[in-house]
Chain A
Amino acid sequence: MVGSKNRVVLSVVLISLILVFFYAPIASLMVFSFNNSRSLTSWAGFSTQWYSALFENREMMQAIWVTVIVALLTTVISTVVGTLTAIGISKSRRIIRELIINVNNFPILNPEIVTAIGLMLLFSSLQIEKGMITMLLAHIIFSTPYVILTVLPKLRNLDPDIAEAAMDLGATPFQALWKVIVPLIMPGVISGALLAFTMSFDDFVISYFVSGNGVKNISILVYTMSKRINPTINALSTILVVIITVVLLIVNLAPLFKKKELRGTE
């Protein structure tokens, strides 16, 4: 079977090429963040000088702080709001359910730039001063629909009588929510929270339009600095890539460990 052997070789080559295409730029970006010169193309020895420069740069540290605080607050608030709303949606009448889901789809289907200018116009009409508050508010507004969208399918898979069963057995609505529904949809809530975190952490377009000159998150900083090549950006980018990769690995590997644990008890 020469044909199938050739096909295997071709497959391996194609997959390797695509992985090189995906990862080579990121790898070179990370490698040159440790370069001992300003150049991003020729290697002049290992150094962490750009990282020191990064940590000494007040503007950059400020941006990191803003990004992290906004991402954490966004995660907590949009996860709580989104999860409760999703539970409400699953128990609502069809008309309300479809109304919310359809309106919710707007920020998901619309280009980010449209959502961004919409919010910018809203904040300026309300005369809310642009800054960290507007950035946070905007992040919560665009993450919550994604949380709802992630949690809803988990609720759909539940036995429709499960909350009733808990209350039938004497649980108050709050107890039914806390002891039965929330534990059962936890995987969805966690992936919703993660989605909210990464979206807020990485966001550029919306933050760019709704925050004023004073407040910058990492993305805005990269945008304003990238006009000239600057290895500090590489250092900053490397940190971002590492954080996101670690988060993704934890999320993707955690279920495997859990499975092992379960197997261990059997």
Chain B
Amino acid sequence: MRKLIEFKNIVKEFNGTLVLKGINLVIHENEFVTLLGPSGCGKTTLLRILGGFLSQNEGQVFFDGIEISKVPPYKREINTVFQRYALFPHMNVFDNVAFGLNIKKQDKDTIKQKVTRMLKLVGLEGYEDRPVTLMSGGQQQRVAIARALVNEPMVLLLDEPLGALDLKLRKEMQHELKKIQQEVGITFIYVTHDQEEALTMSDTIVVMNQGEIQQIGTPTDIYNEPENRFVADFIGESNLIEGTILDDYRVSFDDQEFECIDAGFGENVNVDIVLRPEDIDIVPVELGKIRGIVKSSLFKGVHFEIVVETPYREFIIHTTDNAAIGSEVGLHFFPEDIHIMQKMGY
């Protein structure tokens, strides 16, 4: 895939606080990239710099090989779907979608044709004359997407576009967005704080925290091989354990030694360890690597969330088999389920 966008050492400060601390990031053509992180991590700021609505204090932004920091937003081949959609309330659906084409002074027939095609793509055929203020959140969302895509941008930026929708609609739109992206075949850069959204749609996830990139990778990479404690904690539920790597393939925690599949960390180095709740199995005491007492059990629809207490900590376990509260059980996991991460600098 061709390199389309490159951020080089982007620094941004607001009133003395560093919001972006030197971001380096490459985004490829036709990629669905998600900037994921808690609020205030700088993800929206980065998106706005790319859109041209903010300028960085340091660093460069390359678009198709050209530095675009000085290019005003209206000259960038980038369109945005805004957080609250920012539809023009004084225009109907058609005029909203046609806005960009009208500005470019395209002829009436072309505009009509393009707008109709786009409304069909987002499932809003026949809504042309509807005032946007009378539409539901989901429909407004679709208008916003159509309004951006009709300009045939090379990149579509989406700033937490599903935040205002209810859960069910959000799930529907996640699939639809992915489908639309595959149909139009352009780069989508999606900003969210919802890890599930990120895991569902993205080709690449960029996890950010406090103005820094924590990890870049595919959803499976990010989920299975978190690079540090923050990523592990932010993505999914985890048992985070401090331990020591004794040697290649040998790790110790809770005063016990375990076999693992990681190597190259050195000898006797303190590390962070992740055990995903669904990777732990509850087995009879004698078969377990660790033993503990079942403290609570909650039915979560598909699985049970069981908390097992050991002398060192509590483990959260997701399993389809229930276990009686108060009973002593064994915990089992495989060497490949132990994810070892370098300790974070702070």
Contacts and interface: CB of A to CB of B under 8 A. Distances in A.
Are A and B physically bound partners?
A: yes
In which size bucket is the chain A interface?
10 to 19
Contacts of A170: 74, 100, 103-104, 151
A15 interface: no
B132 to A, nearest CB: 11
A169 B86 contact: no
B73 A164 contact: yes
Interface of chain A, helix or strand or loop or mixed?
helix
Contact of A169 (B52, B72, B99): B99
A168 B73 contact: yes
9 closest A-B pairs by beta carbon, nearest first, are: A169-B100, A165-B86, A161-B86, A161-B82, A167-B73, A170-B103, A167-B74, A168-B80, A159-B86
Contacts of A166: 88, 99
24 contacts: A159-B82, A159-B86, A161-B82, A161-B83, A164-B80, A165-B80, A165-B86, A167-B52, A167-B74, A168-B51, A168-B53, A168-B73, A168-B148, A169-B99, A169-B100, A169-B103, A169-B151, A170-B74, A171-B99, A172-B72, A172-B74, A173-B72, A179-B99, A184-B90
A29 B53 CA distance: 60
A164 B76 CA distance: 13
B84 interface: yes
Which has the most chain B C-beta neighbours within 10 Å: A167, A168, A171?
A: A168
A164 B53 CA distance: 7
Interface in B49-97: 51-53, 72-74, 78-80, 82-90
B147 interface: yes
Interface in A127-182: 159, 161-162, 164-173, 175, 179-180
A162 B79 CA distance: 13
Interface of B: 51-53, 72-74, 78-80, 82-90, 99-100, 103-104, 147-148, 151
Which has the most chain B C-beta neighbours within 10 Å: A169, A173, A179, A180?
A: A169
Contacts of B151: 169-170
B88 A168 contact: no
A161 B147 CA distance: 15
Given A161-B82, A161-B83, A167 B88 contact: no
A168 B89 contact: no
A163 to B, nearest CB: 9
A253 to B, nearest CB: 22
Nearest to A164: B53
Contacts of B99: 166, 169, 171, 179
A162 B147 contact: no
Contacts of A159: 82, 84-87
A162 B104 CA distance: 19
A162 B88 contact: yes
A180 B51 contact: no
A184 B82 contact: no
A167 B72 contact: yes
Contacts of A171: 74, 99, 103
Nearest to A165: B86
Given A164-B80, A165-B87, A184-B89, 5 more contacts: A159-B87, A165-B80, A169-B74, A170-B74, A184-B90
